[in-house]
Structure 1
Amino acid sequence: MKPSRITILTVDDDPGHRGMLTTLLADWGFRVEAAADGETAVARCREQAFDLILMDVRMTGISGIEALKEIKAYNPAIPILIMTAYSDVETAVEAIKAGAYDYLTKPLDFDDLRLTMERALDHAALRDENKALRQTLAASFDSGGIIGQSPPMRRLMEMLATIAPSEATVMVTGESGTGKELIARAIHANSPRRKGPYVAVNCAALTETLLESELFGHEKGAFTGAEKRREGRFLAADKGTIFLDEIGEMPLSMQVKLLRAIQEREIQRVGGDQTLKVDVRIVAATNRNLLAEVEAGRFRQDLYYRLNVVALALPPLREREEDVPLLAAHFLRKFAEKNGKHIKGFTPEAMDRMLKHAWPGNVRELENAVERAVVLALGEYIGERELPPALSGGSDEPRPGGFANLTLEELERAAILDALEAAGGNKSEAARRLGITRKTMHAKLAKYGE
């Protein structure tokens, strides 16, 4: 960027030093504005965007450090250089911690000043360019049903948009229920391999022998029950993506064979001696700490580094509270359509319960909770009574008139009778509480012979 297009704000309560800086920077071709104190600097930064700020640390009124903090809170993108006549480490450390790009000591070395300014401006320009690129990538990214607008999810989507077009092996980590396979599918859908197959394997669901056969295939007669040759998942995923879920559960002996397949890009069927070339991209996932597993001798270090080329850590739902209403609304539409119900939404009390819940089962737990609520709902809104006991404060134990271990019709009948009892037998009041019309209430009662 040309100096004539760059606007710099100088902040110094010393008129002589402030004037000298203004003249010097103008001679260098920059557009310069000046402020005599920190309060004025903060106010000016709220009025317009500056490309760089040079600010003295010791001023009347608020200090340079305080002004720095306020400006960074309002606009963290502005690079700020702090000037101090005291070259003490404590001031420098405090300035850097508060967000300063760098600090300079008075009297200023003009060559050092210009070099530091150029570095700060180049850094800001590169950051803006990268941000624009990430936003462009994210805008064209097919999310594949990934839902979330929270800061952790926005960062994740930007990362996904960057790595999906590559051929890099990806390791997805996160607690159970965070949506690791959804991420794997999104990586495949946005990769050059999108027209190829996507194949998923749960490494924890099979015995060692069956897992080897599942991954690499087997020859006829290779083991008891192998009545014909079978192609494995690696061959099925050729020219596409293979998702190895629960990779941390894979036995050590199988880890050796997987490592060879990754390194050599070739496999052998169980019971066979023919080497088969494969071209697959691997996305692996685990809810375990694989480094701890390596240290414990349960996971091979060389395989870990082969798989962990790009690491993606999925945030648990409790760290993305803003996404709970979005996810709940999505699942509500999904299950209302599936069950043929017209449900408009959640009551404020029900949503409050969901927002306060820790969600140890993450998105999967939320999905199950909403499905249960849709099944139980008789009115147009889901309330606290339809939520699982862990959310509604109830008990999992069966209770008279309760909902445990009942069929859908039994649940509906129980809910109607509960409402009638709570309304003292008043059918209109019971219908109001259930969110249904009196006509519907009569029809339901007739259906169940009440």
Structure 2
Amino acid sequence: MDTITVLLVASNPTMCDHLTSILQTNDKLRLETCTSAQKALKLLKSQRIQIVYSDLQNDEMSGVALVQKAKQIMPDGYCMVGSTTGTAQDVILAMQAGADEFIIDPYDRELIENTFEKAILDVTKQQPSIVNQQFLPKKIITQEKALTSMLDIAKKVAPSTASILITGESGTGKELLASFIHQNSNRSNEPYVALNCAALPEQLAESELFGHEKGAFTGAISRKIGKFESAGKGTVVLDEITEMAMPLQAKLLRALQEREIVRLGSNRSVSIDARVVAISNRSIKKAVQDGIFREDLFYRLNVIPLTIPPLRERKNDIPLLADYFLQRFSAQNGKSMSSISDETMDFLVKHSWPGNVRELENVIQRGVLIGSGDVLLKEHLIMEEPVRAAIETPQFSVGMTVREMEKTLIFNTLESVNDNRTHAAKMLGISIRTLRNKLNEYREEMGISAE
């Protein structure tokens, strides 16, 4: 089977090295790297390249301009743009130019693996056999009765056409469960298409879901097939569903009821047959009560509700998971570490794990990389401080308005997490969309153009 050629374009060689270190273990991929956009265009014209990654800011040509030219050379190829400082407007411009994905820092291994997995499946027309084991769905590992019972239910309902709503705290493995449902359904050989509802600006979300016709809006240089159409008879996963704007919720509801969609710029209905799995780390019932989520859409999605318990309620799973991660990361990094000391395991079991399975995975990975010898010891672990501990006490004073206090708290929180809006929104207990709207209000008050 032919290998897939990936072109990595970044003016900073360190970025190319970072992506290469993650992707080079897949023997089905052939990697090309360059620090010049002009050289990238020459490579695109001289050889068959299926996937292109470009930094948003290159020395002589922006990633957006490069994508636009790349799409003309390889219309069926998969293009992605990445940035550590990308704004909503950058995302919009990139998507309008033809980018299939926009990656925002941090570029951790899991993010890169998942993003390139989607790209690989796209360019190979959903032929999973071409994907290296590294990119296959990870295992759900458990011996807890509550979770095994829930998995039994998921397996029973997987062959049905019913919509499924998966809830649980961040890091519990909700996307893993969605993949498990797809693999155990009669749609397992069909596409698995995921969309993070919080990652796209409201202006682009409808186009991503339902597609658009050429000329539907400024920058729509060609027809785009949306997630529902591209999924065919497969599965559409809508992550962070509560972040979807209300107008789009109404259109999603209609699509689910009528089993048809209308592309932007078209008046013709297109039938859809994909199964929908919605995911949320927030209480959708509370979102309904707060007036930010449609009640009728909630009931349409909540046919089969599944909730993954947090890791602190699955203490028996911690040794299993820790050992699994140890073996995996030892093999990946050529280490001989094969066991965990009793003291270390006792410490791991007693920890509260606010970041759930994802936090445990990160801790074990760091321990394997930092440690030496055959045994993982407690001193090899670098534990993260609780996120909330990083916030300094806001400087409030008598006479401040509630709005001034709110503004102070938001800016202090953003500063404490180096302007990472996802982390800040989580700490503040609000949605990313709400945080973005608040910041735009403050910028308008200060005479700064809103994003």
After TM superposition, the score normalised by the length of structure 2 is 0.54
1:344-423 to 2 correspondences below 5 Å:
344-390=338-384
1:241-390 to 2 correspondences below 5 Å:
241-390=235-384
Aligned equivalent of 2:142: 148
Distance 1:281 1:212 in 2: 18
TM-fit CA distance, 1:390: 4.2
Cα-to-partner distance string for 1:275-323 (whole Å, 9 max, x where unaligned)? 1111011010101111111111100000000000010010000000000
TM-fit CA distance, 1:224: 2.6
Aligned equivalent of 1:231: 225
1:78-93 to 2 correspondences below 5 Å:
none
Q: Which amino acid aligns with 1:147?
A: I
Rate the CA distance shift 1:346–1:207 in 2: closer, same or farther, 3 A: same
1:55-70 to 2 correspondences below 5 Å:
none
Check if 1:159 corresponds to 2:145. Answer: no
1:69-218 to 2 correspondences below 5 Å:
145-218=139-212
Q: Which amino acid aligns with 2:371?
A: A
Q: 1:218·1:270 contact (CA, 8 Å) conserved in 2?
A: yes
1:423-438 to 2 correspondences below 5 Å:
none
Rate the CA distance shift 1:389–1:186 in 2: closer, same or farther, 3 A: closer
TM-fit CA distance, 1:144: 6.2
TM-fit CA distance, 1:266: 0.6
Q: Which amino acid aligns with 2:178?
A: A
Larger Rg: 1
TM-fit CA distance, 1:389: 3.0
Q: 1:213·1:232 contact (CA, 8 Å) conserved in 2?
A: yes
Q: 1:174·1:315 contact (CA, 8 Å) conserved in 2?
A: yes
SS in 1 for 2:316: helix
Aligned equivalent of 2:55: none
Task: Identify unmatched segments of 5+ residues in structure 1.
Answer: 1-142, 397-450
Rate the CA distance shift 1:285–1:265 in 2: closer, same or farther, 3 A: same
Distance 2:273 2:288 in 1: 27
Distance 2:193 2:203 in 1: 19
Q: Which amino acid aligns with 2:356?
A: N
TM-fit CA distance, 1:225: 2.3
Rate the CA distance shift 1:391–1:373 in 2: closer, same or farther, 3 A: farther
SS in 2 for 1:276: strand
TM-fit CA distance, 1:180: 0.5
Q: How many residues align?
A: 253
Q: Which amino acid aligns with 1:184?
A: A
Q: 2:158·2:185 contact (CA, 8 Å) conserved in 1?
A: yes
CA RMSD, aligned part only? Answer: 2.0
Q: 2:330·2:338 contact (CA, 8 Å) conserved in 1?
A: no
Distance 1:271 1:161 in 2: 39
1:1-80 to 2 correspondences below 5 Å:
none
Q: 1:144·1:189 contact (CA, 8 Å) conserved in 2?
A: no
